[in-house]
Amino acid sequence: MTGSDEASPSQPVPLPDASRRLVVAIDGPASSGKSSVGAAVAAAIGARFLDTGLLYRALTWLCLERRLRPEDGPAVAGLVGEIDLGPDEAGHLARVLVDGRDVADRIRTPRVDRAVSEVSRQPEVRAALLDRQRAIAAAGAIVVAGRDIGSVVLPDADVKVWLDASAEERAARRARERGFDPASPPGIAILDELRRRDQADGSRAVSPSRPADDAVHVRTDGNTFEETVAAVLAVVRAAGAVAEGSP
């Protein structure tokens, strides 16, 4: 695989058995579809799914609840032990538990969006969550979505995909999801916020959001959801075939 590879959309076809043990890293910027595409890919290959953004969001939510300053890395990192992920009905690690309470519906809010990049640029926070993410992935057979999975968290992942689309396309999708016309003032605010987060996540000193050198780039502009899932499955299938043929 090379960084310049482009996967073309194709129909899903049955995957070789070897792909069931694969560790698949899907990275990309905000609203690139990593979590929905990652969950669909995981379901197709019978793997678990971890959206690492949930960990950063849950920690940010808890930091705000406790009235800690997002830039106080050591204090915020001290909260990591209070956060747990649990499986939903589909077996994905989508239940976000704080003190046993499911807070999943409180962490995808503009309030958390605004503070999460500050929390996630703290080296103490990244170190604490690094161990957590590796522990979850250790058993294999998992699709992991994030920003630095292929480059830092799981550099030995069998498959690395960098999912991307223009900021306008990503913001328009997010605006429609939230019930706004992309050209309306709230739609434009979503685009501004997304650009701000791209810039913050891509320029931080520790583990900036970036494609691994050996990631396959999948651009999703103009794709349907199904086309993007098929394109990623094509990449997984290729890696699964390699694993199957090797000793």
Applying CB under 6 A, the residues found at the interface with ligand C5P are 30, 52-53, 56-57, 116-117, 120, 146-149, 197, 201
Q: Which is nearer to ligand C5P, 46 or 202 (CB)?
A: 202
Q: Which is nearer to ligand C5P, 172 or 234 (CB)?
A: 172
Helix (H, G, I), strand (E, B) or coil at 118: helix
The nearest distance, CB 67 to ligand C5P, in angstroms, is 20
Strand-pairing partners, residue 101, are 98
Q: Which is nearer to ligand C5P, 147 or 217 (CB)?
A: 147
The nearest distance, CB 142 to ligand C5P, in angstroms, is 14
User: At residue 19, what is the residue type?
Assistant: S
The nearest distance, CB 194 to ligand C5P, in angstroms, is 9
The nearest distance, CB 117 to ligand C5P, in angstroms, is 4
The nearest distance, CB 216 to ligand C5P, in angstroms, is 18
Q: Which is nearer to ligand C5P, 22 or 30 (CB)?
A: 30
The nearest distance, CB 15 to ligand C5P, in angstroms, is 25
Owner of token pair 């057979």: 141
Q: Which is nearer to ligand C5P, 44 or 149 (CB)?
A: 149
What b/e string do you get for 57-86 counting C-beta neighbours within 10 Å, with b at 16 or more?
bbbbbbbbeeeeebebbebbbebbeebebe
> What's the order of all strands across the beta sheet hosting 216-219?
48-51, 142-146, 23-27, 159-164, 216-219
Q: How far apart (Å, rounded) are the C-alpha atoms in residues 44 and 46? A: 6
Q: Which is nearer to ligand C5P, 120 or 220 (CB)?
A: 120
Q: Where are the alpha helices (DSSP H) in 30-142?
A: 34-45, 53-65, 73-77, 110-120, 123-137
Query: Are 38 and 145 within 8 A, CB to CB?
Result: yes
Q: How far apart (Å, rounded) are the C-alpha atoms in residues 243 and 65? A: 46
